[in-house]
Structure formats: structure tokens, C-alpha cells
């Protein structure tokens, strides 16, 4: 473990301790349950929906999604004609989740990438499509590259399929929306401290204070320090999130909030995968770390200011306006390990870069329920303006001062460095990027006849991007601009024979503009400047049921997500992209969440997918499965109250084999070297003891069977990051 007294002192000062048949079966199997619940002549209605203040949810335990705002209006999840997974606060607490990545382990059809393409933050794939820029915080785009925390989250929502009508650009495979904790009209404080193996220490505080009948404040604090089963890898982070809400329960409600997250980690690029031995990771001890412990770091910070005003004209009409300013600063130095052909040594490629990213967002949504032409309507009209700036750069040092090579079997993270190592490090290849996007959208959900609803929505985005790059050797400045106007569509048909059942068919589109932060290449911006947006389509049919008198939610869906215009490099003009690619993912999902009995909670999901590249400029790529897209993935987690003061839980996460490769797009074409990591199943468990009123002790056991597995793979297949071995964490919480 490296010693850095200045860092240690500063950190401690900040520690805040003070396929079709399957679908048909899924659609019809629950029907006998409804027959039992709805006796002849008896009306079947759901229990009344009660909207509680945010602070009250601290005492409500449920794995069920309830009301969601992911569609820009508050509605039950069963009224969203699209696949939606909600990871609730209770599920995160029971599994002792501390990061967004850990929370997303509960989402079937979602996998993790190991930072390929220079991305160093949360980097995910949904239904086989990259979604690293499709992250949102309270419905506002949050696409900067950093590792997100959960200490200030109430829940995480994952909406599948192309959804540009709601969110603008991106969202081919889906989006991830983080929902923040908010003040409520109840005074309650919860303190929690956790200690675990590998020197894991974490402290959190969640304090909500009712000031008067319409005003409340909330403060969330977090400090987290831990080492790793990987030699010399460590995480050190802290965060603070104060918020205040005025006018609660009145016609004018105001929210002001601030969020700060900061971390100083030793990053890990995992174990290299050679293009031999079947394309599997080299067989070494999982603790082997090929980085340089004394010089590698990832130091990032995020600051987010939010203001929100909700004006209620009446019980049926509401105007919601949000203004947000965010800034993310990133600084990285790490090793990209590459094993030599003889499998005897590892080259420690140097990756060093940084960025300053700022986002300004302003949006207004008018929602209204009304009757027109004897039909019930739920209307939405909105406008959104987003301005994003990014200053990015690489660090460069003299070639003679590169990292020393490492032994494959016994790497030394403290290998001697050249005397002048790091002294010549300077910023090179700066890229300045500014994007402005204005979106105007309208949507209506119409009950055309009893039990039948039609959703129709459209959005127009005006996207403009300006970016410049500097060639360090010549100091030549290249400036480019991109301007696109794109329409996005969303439509759905819902049949709701009872309040417990929804059958639906849905269609949606998405686009990824050239020059977007998601797609721009810092060293070749001219490619993006000359290429039209990529286009995507999502088709989906499915069903949602509320069972056990509304206490258990079950859903299933059959889908096809297709990217119809994907960028490829023109082999005859290497500085230009062509929209010559096409690929798709077909799949089926089933998911359940809620309470089977008053003592028994359950959450489970399964995704079966078949993905294929249909067209590619390199013919060797046609027919391949896209990187990091397993045939199956899913999980099951359950908890049970075995005694008045004792509760146990456990479950398994599983995922199939994942591949990685790079398809050459310049002549002569060659077949890619395909690497892969095997599938796995990881078992976790927990036990909770309520020691006395408002005081509890929880033990979490992670990877109980000590399974060796790989958590993520680079998209190009060069590296894979091992998952955790057996770990134990003990948490003490106190509420007052």
C-alpha cells in the first residue's frame, strides 16, 4: 500500500465520520392468480396509491418500484409501456450497495465494460449497446465520466430500449436514471458504520429535519476507505449532499440541493488477455496487480447544483422547472497491461489524461390530465436546453521514461522508476468541446375506449457541437462544427383489462449525433464532423401484472433493438466515418419484485439475448456477437423475517460468457482476434439483527462460495478485471 502523508491527512480531515413460446407462457401463466383474486361480480381494484414524503421512505422496506418519474411524469410503473427495472433503497441496503455499479448488478441484460476507449467512469452496456453517456440524475443528463456513489440515492431506474423522445440523444439500449433523496416532513436521522475485510471502512449519515409544516432540510454524508484483494488497489472517497425544500404540500414547491463527491483511488486495469490460449486471460494469481502503485492514481470530483420549482395549477395540472449546473474534474494516471507473445512479461502502457467538464441544463415540463372528445388524456409538453463543455487532454513524457515491464507471474508494483520519471509530463493533444442542444417534445396518453390506451409522442432536437484540437508536434489547430436537427418518436398501445394487468406493444427511436461527447474521437475529430447521426429503433411487446393484492409486481417482454446506421471508418478515406453498419439484439426478459408474504420479500430477473452484427465494413465482422453481450444474465435476491428481531437474505447473480475484440476497418481486412471471459454465478448472503428499537446489526457475505470470476472485459478484449473473492462486511445502524 502506498504511503502519502499529505493525501492521508487531507483525506482524514474530510472523513465525515463526526423466445415466443417462453413469452406466451409468461403472458398466460399468471391468469389463474387473477381469477382467484377477482371473484365473480366483485370489482378488482388496486389499493389506493399513497405518495409519501421522501424522509418517510427511510422507514419503508420494499423491493417494489411503485411510482416512477422516468417518463417525465409521475405514474405507476405498470403504466409505462416499456421495460423498466427499479433498484429500490431497500434492495440496495439489504445488499450493502455502495456504488452505482454495484446497484446495477441487479439489472438483467446489463454488463460492465473495463474502461475501454479512454472511459474511466461508470461504463456499461445495455442490451448489447454502449450506454456510458446515457446516465441521468433526477431526469437530467449526467454523462461525465466518473464513478458514481449511492449514499444520496433513493432508487435507480433503468428504462430499456430507444428513448430519444424522452431523453434526447443516445439511449439505444436504454438509460439509467438515479433518483436523489429529498427532504420530507418528518424529523429522523440514520447513522451507519461498516467495517469489512480488505480494510473496508464506511460511514454514512442521513439526517432529515422538519422545520415547519411546509419546509424541511436534509443532509447526507459519506466517507469510504477500502483496500482490495488486488495488490495495492484502493478506494478513498467522501461526499456531502445538503438539500432544502420549501412549500411542501402547497401549490408552489421549491427545492435547492448541492452534491459533492470526491475520490482519490489507485485504479486497476485488471489482467491482460493474450490472443492465444483460446483468448482467455492469462492464468495468474487474481491478486496480481500490473500497475505502478506509487504513481498510479485516479483523482476525480463532481459538484452538482440543482434548483427546482413545481407549480400546481390544480390537482390535474402541474408545471415542473429544473435548472442544474454541474462540474466534473478528472485526473488519471494508470497502466494498460499488455502481455508479450511468449507470455513471460507484461508491458505497462502508460495512460495519463485529464478533463474539466461542465453541464448547464434548464428544462420545463407541463403535465395535465383532462377529458377531450369523451376520452381521458394524460398530456406532456416540455422544452429542454443543455449546454455541455469539455476540455480534455493527455499527458506525455519522454519515451525513455516509460514504465518498466512487469513479470507475468510475480509483478512488482514498486519497480524502480527512471530518475527523471514524471518530470517531463506535460499536457498534449488538447480537445475543446462545446455542445448545445434544444429539445421540444409533446406526448399524450389517451384512453380511447375503456381499458385501451394509446401513447403517442414526438420530439425535435437541435444539436450543435463545436470542437477544436491541437496537434502538439506542429501546434496546428483544427476546428470543426456539427449541426443536426433530428425527430424522435415514441408510441405504444396498452390494454388494461383490470387494474392489475397491462399488456402493451411499443415502438421508439433514438439517435447518436456525430460530435456528441459519446462519439467524438479526440485525435480524429474530422471523422465526426462529416458524419450524420446514427439511428436506432426499438420494438417491444410485453405484459405487467400486480399480484398478491398489488404487493408483487411481475413483468415480461419480448424485444428487438436495432441500430440501423452505425459508424464505420471509410477504408479509402480514413478521416471519414460511414454510416455503413447495422446490428441488432433480440431478447426476452422476465422480472419480479415485491412481497410474497408480509415477511417475505423477493427480487429477481432474467434476460435472454441474441445479438448479431448484420453489416460491417469489414466482412470478417459480419455475424459476430457484439462485445460484452452475453446470451443470458440475471439475478435472484430474497429476504425473510424469521423472527421478530431477525431477518435473513441471500441470492445469486449470474451472467454468461462475454467477448471482446477490435474489428479492423482499414485495408487489408483481417479477422479480429476474439478474446473472452467465462460466465459465472456469484452467491451473496445477509443476516440482520435488530438489537433494540432503532438499532440494528447487519452482516453481508459477498461471494460466499469464493468463486473466481471476471467482472468486466475491455471492449477490445485486451484486459479483464477480476471480481471480488469472499468478503464480509458488518454494519451497525442507528435511527433517532
Residue keyed to cell 450543435: 464
More confident residue, 143 or 408: 408
Angle at CA 258, nearest 5°, toward 329 and 157? 85
Q: What is the mean pLDDT of residues 218-230?
A: 96
Q: What is the pLDDT of residue 37?
A: 40
pLDDT, one tens digit per residue, over 489-537 is 999 999 999 999 999 999 999 998 876 653 455 445 555 566 788 899 9
Stretch among 89-93, 204-208, 389-393 having the lowest mean pLDDT? 389-393
Q: Which helix (H) or strand (E) holds 476?
A: strand 476-495
Query: Residues 270-285: what's their mean pLDDT?
Result: 87
Given this model, what pLDDT does residue 572 score?
A: 59
pLDDT over 70 (residue 17): no
SS3 14: helix
Q: Which segment of 55-64, 366-375, 542-551, 625-634 scores lowest on mean pLDDT? A: 55-64
Let me know: does 717 contact 673? Beta carbons within 8 Å: yes
Cell numbers found for residue 93: 441496503
SS3 call for 528 = helix
Q: What percent of the chain is predicted at pLDDT more than 70? A: 85
* Highest mean pLDDT pick, 331-335, 341-345, 567-571: 331-335
- The predicted pLDDT at position 46 comes to 41
Choose among 304, 269, 378: nearest CA to 718.
269
> Which sign does the torsion angle of CA 563, 565, 569, 575 carry?
negative
Computed over every residue of the chain, the mean pLDDT equals: 87
Report pLDDT for 12. 38
Residue 512, judged by CB atoms within 10 A of its CB (0-12, 13-18, 19+), counts as: buried
pTM of the predicted model as reported, rounded to 2 decimal places? 0.90
Res. 437: pLDDT tops 60: yes
Q: Which of 643, 677, 647, 641 lies closest to 659 in space, CA to CA?
A: 677
64-68, 75-79, 564-568, 683-687, range with the lowest pLDDT: 564-568
- Please report the pLDDT score of residue 474 as a whole number: 65
Given a cut of 90, is residue 208 above it in pLDDT?
Answer: yes
Per-residue exposure over 287-318, b if at least 16 CB sit within 10 Å of its own CB, e if not: ebbbbbbbbbbbbbbbebebebbbbbeeeeeb
Please give the Cα distance from 13 to 386 (Å, whole number): 36
Task: Give me the phi and psi of 433, to 5 degrees please.
Answer: -135, 130
The Cα 181–Cα 154 span in angstroms is 5
To 10 degrees, the CA torsion angle through 163, 167, 169, 175? -60
Q: Mind listing the pLDDT tens digit for each residue in 454-491?
A: 999 999 999 998 888 776 666 677 777 888 999 999 99
d(CA 103, CA 506): 27
Q: Could you tell me the three cell numbers for 676?
A: 473472452
Is the model more confident about 688 or about 42?
Answer: 688
The DSSP-derived string for 604-632 is: EEEEEEEEEEEE-SSGGGTTPPPTT--SE
pLDDT surpassing 60 at residue 38: no
- Mean pLDDT, range 255-260, rounded to an integer: 98
Cell numbers linked to 216: 424541511
> What local confidence, expressed as pLDDT, does residue 414 receive?
94
Residue 397 is predicted with a pLDDT of 67
Residue of 173, 143, 175, 137 whose CA lies nearest to 159: 175
Which pLDDT belongs to residue 19? 38
Q: Tell me the three state secondary structure of residue 277.
A: helix
At 573, the pLDDT band (50, 70, 90 cuts) reads low
**Across 200-218, average pLDDT:** 98
Q: 268: closest CA among 305, 303, 226, 307?
A: 226
Does the pLDDT at position 50 exceed 80?
no
pLDDT (tens digit per residue) in 66-100: 889 898 988 999 999 999 999 999 999 999 999 99
- pLDDT confidence tier of residue 571, bands split at 50, 70 and 90: low
Name the 3-class secondary structure at 584.
Answer: strand
pLDDT for 26 equals: 39
521 by Cβ neighbours in 10 Å (0-12 / 13-18 / 19+) ranks as middle
- 491's torsion region: left (phi>0), alpha (psi -120 to 50) or beta? beta
Between CA 208 and CA 222 the distance in angstroms is 15
How far apart CA 217 and CA 383 sit, in angstroms, is 29
Confidence (pLDDT) at 4: 46
The residues with which 67 forms a beta bridge, in sequence order, are 76
Residue 117 has pLDDT above 90, yes or no: no
Indicate if the pLDDT at residue 113 is higher than 90.
no
Look at residues 200, 269, 202, 268 and name the one whose alpha carbon lies nearest to residue 238: 202
Enter the C-alpha cell of residue 541: 411487446
Residue 536 is placed in which grid cell?
Answer: 436506432
Round to whole Å and give the CA distance between 113 and 701: 25
DSSP assignment, residue 281?
Answer: P
Length of the chain, in residues: 736
Can you tell me the mean pLDDT for 712-729?
Answer: 93
Q: What is the pLDDT of residue 678?
A: 95
How many other CB atoms are there within 10 angstroms of residue 185's CB atom? 20
**What residues contact residue 494 under an 8 Å CB cut-off, 6+ apart?**
79, 81, 452, 453, 454, 455, 502, 503, 504
Q: Measured in Å, how far apart are the chain's first and last C-alpha atoms?
A: 38
Instruction: At 549, list the grid cell.
Output: 393484492
The mean pLDDT value for 369-373 works out to: 95
Comparing 399 with 211, the larger pLDDT belongs to 211
Distances (CA, A) of 505 to 82, 334, 493, 556, 608: 8, 47, 5, 12, 19
Mean pLDDT over 227-249 rounds to: 96
144-183 confidence digits (pLDDT tens):
788 999 999 999 999 999 999 999 998 899 999 999 999 9
- What was the pLDDT predicted at 574? 62
Domains of the chain: 5-735 (2.40.170.20)
| Burial (0-12, 13-18, 19+ Cβ within 10 Å), 503 | middle
Q: What is the rounded radius of gyration, in angstroms, for the C-alpha atoms of the chain?
A: 26
Helices H / strands E in the chain, number of each: 7, 38
Cα–Cα dist 388/406, whole Å: 40
Residue 228 CA to residue 391 CA, distance in Å, equals 32
Amino acid at each position: 500500500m502506498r504511503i502519502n502523508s499529505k493525501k492521508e491527512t487531507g483525506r482524514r480531515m474530510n472523513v465525515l465520520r463526526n423466445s415466443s413460446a417462453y413469452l406466451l407462457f409468461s403472458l398466460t401463466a399468471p391468469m389463474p392468480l387473477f381469477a382467484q383474486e377477482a371473484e365473480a361480480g366483485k370489482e378488482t381494484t388496486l389499493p389506493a396509491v399513497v405518495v409519501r414524503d421522501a424522509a418517510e421512505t427511510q422507514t419503508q422496506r420494499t423491493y417494489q418500484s411503485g411510482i416512477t418519474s422516468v417518463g417525465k411524469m409521475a405514474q405507476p410503473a405498470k403504466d409505462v409501456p416499456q421495460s423498466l427495472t427499479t433498484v429500490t433503497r431497500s434492495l440496495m441496503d439489504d445488499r450493502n450497495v455502495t456504488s452505482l455499479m454495484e446497484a446495477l448488478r441487479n439489472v438483467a441484460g446489463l454488463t460492465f465494460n473495463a474502461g475501454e476507449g479512454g472511459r474511466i467512469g461508470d461504463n456499461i452496456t445495455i442490451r448489447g449497446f454502449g450506454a456510458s453517456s446515457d446516465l441521468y440524475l433526477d431526469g437530467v443528463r449526467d454523462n461525465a465520466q466518473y464513478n458514481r456513489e449511492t449514499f444520496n440515492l433513493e432508487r435507480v431506474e433503468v428504462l430499456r430500449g430507444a428513448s430519444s423522445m424522452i431523453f434526447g440523444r443516445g439511449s439505444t439500449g436504454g438509460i439509467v436514471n438515479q433518483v436523489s433523496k429529498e427532504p420530507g416532513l418528518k424529523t429522523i436521522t440514520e447513522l451507519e458504520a461498516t467495517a469489512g475485510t480488505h480494510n473496508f471502512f464506511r460511514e454514512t449519515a442521513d439526517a432529515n429535519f422538519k422545520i415547519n409544516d411546509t419546509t424541511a432540510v436534509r443532509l447526507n454524508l459519506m466517507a469510504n476507505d477500502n483496500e482490495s484483494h488486488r495488490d495495492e488497489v484502493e478506494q478513498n472517497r467522501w461526499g456531502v449532499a445538503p438539500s432544502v425544500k420549501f412549500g411542501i404540500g402547497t401549490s408552489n414547491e421549491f427545492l435547492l440541493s448541492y452534491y459533492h463527491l470526491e475520490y482519490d483511488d489507485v485504479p486497476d486495469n485488471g489482467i491482460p488477455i493474450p490472443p492465444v490460449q483460446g483468448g482467455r486471460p492469462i492464468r495468474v494469481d487474481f491478486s496480481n496487480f500490473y500497475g505502478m502503485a506509487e504513481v498510479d492514481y485516479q483523482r476525480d470530483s463532481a459538484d452538482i447544483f440543482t434548483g427546482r420549482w413545481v407549480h400546481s395549477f390544480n390537482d390535474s395540472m402541474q408545471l415542473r422547472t429544473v435548472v442544474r449546473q454541474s462540474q466534473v474534474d478528472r485526473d488519471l494516471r494508470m497502466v494498460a497491461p499488455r502481455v508479450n507473445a511468449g507470455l513471460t512479461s507484461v508491458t505497462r502502457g502508460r495512460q495519463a489524461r485529464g478533463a474539466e467538464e461542465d453541464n448547464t441544463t434548464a428544462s420545463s415540463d407541463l403535465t395535465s390530465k383532462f377529458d377531450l372528445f369523451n376520452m381521458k388524456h394524460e398530456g406532456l409538453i416540455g422544452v429542454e436546453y443543455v449546454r455541455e463543455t469539455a476540455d480534455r487532454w493527455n499527458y506525455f513524457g519522454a519515451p525513455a521514461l516509460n514504465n518498466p515491464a512487469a513479470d507475468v507471474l510475480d509483478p512488482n508494483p514498486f519497480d524502480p522508476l527512471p530518475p527523471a520519471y514524471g518530470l517531463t509530463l506535460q499536457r498534449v493533444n488538447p480537445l475543446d468541446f462545446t455542445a448545445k442542444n434544444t429539445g421540444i417534445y409533446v406526448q399524450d396518453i389517451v384512453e380511447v375506449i375503456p381499458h385501451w390506451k394509446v401513447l403517442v409522442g414526438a420530439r425535435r432536437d437541435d444539436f450543435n457541437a463545436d470542437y477544436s484540437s491541437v496537434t502538439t508536434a506542429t501546434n496546428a489547430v483544427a476546428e470543426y462544427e456539427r449541426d443536426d436537427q433530428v425527430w424522435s418518436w415514441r408510441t405504444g398501445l396498452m390494454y388494461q383489462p383490470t387494474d392489475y394487468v397491462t399488456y402493451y406493444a411499443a415502438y421508439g427511436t433514438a439517435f447518436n449525433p456525430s460530435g456528441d461527447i459519446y462519439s467524438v474521437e479526440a485525435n480524429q475529430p474530422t471523422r465526426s464532423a462529416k458524419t450524420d447521426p446514427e439511428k436506432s429503433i426499438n420494438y417491444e411487446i410485453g405484459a405487467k401484472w400486480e399480484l398478491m393484492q398489488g404487493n408483487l409486481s411481475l413483468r415480461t417482454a419480448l424485444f428487438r433493438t436495432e441500430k440501423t446506421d452505425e459508424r464505420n471508418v471509410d477504408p479509402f478515406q480514413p478521416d471519414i466515418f460511414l454510416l455503413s453498419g447495422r446490428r441488432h439484439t433480440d431478447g426476452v426478459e422476465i422480472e419480479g419484485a415485491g412481497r410474497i408474504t408480509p415477511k417475505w420479500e423477493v427480487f429477481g430477473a432474467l434476460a435472454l439475448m441474441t445479438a448479431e452484427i448484420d453489416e460491417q465494413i469489414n466482412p470478417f465482422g459480419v455475424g459476430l456477437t457484439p462485445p460484452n453481450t452475453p446470451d443470458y444474465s440475471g439475478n435472484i435476491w430474497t429476504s425473510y423475517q424469521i423472527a421478530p428481531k431477525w431477518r435473513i437474505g441471500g441470492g445469486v447473480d449470474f451472467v454468461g460468457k462475454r467477448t471482446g475484440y477490435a474489428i479492423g476497418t482499414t485495408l487489408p481486412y483481417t479477422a479480429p482476434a476474439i478474446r473472452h471471459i467465462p460466465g459465472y454465478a456469484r452467491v451473496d448472503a445477509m443476516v440482520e439483527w435488530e438489537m433494540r428499537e432503532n438499532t440494528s446489526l447487519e452482516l453481508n457475505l459477498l461471494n460466499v462460495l469464493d468463486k473466481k470470476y471476471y467482472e468486466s472485459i475491455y471492449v477490445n478484449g485486451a484486459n479483464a478485471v477480476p471480481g471480488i473473492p469472499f468478503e464480509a462486511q458488518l454494519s451497525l445502524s442507528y435511527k433517532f
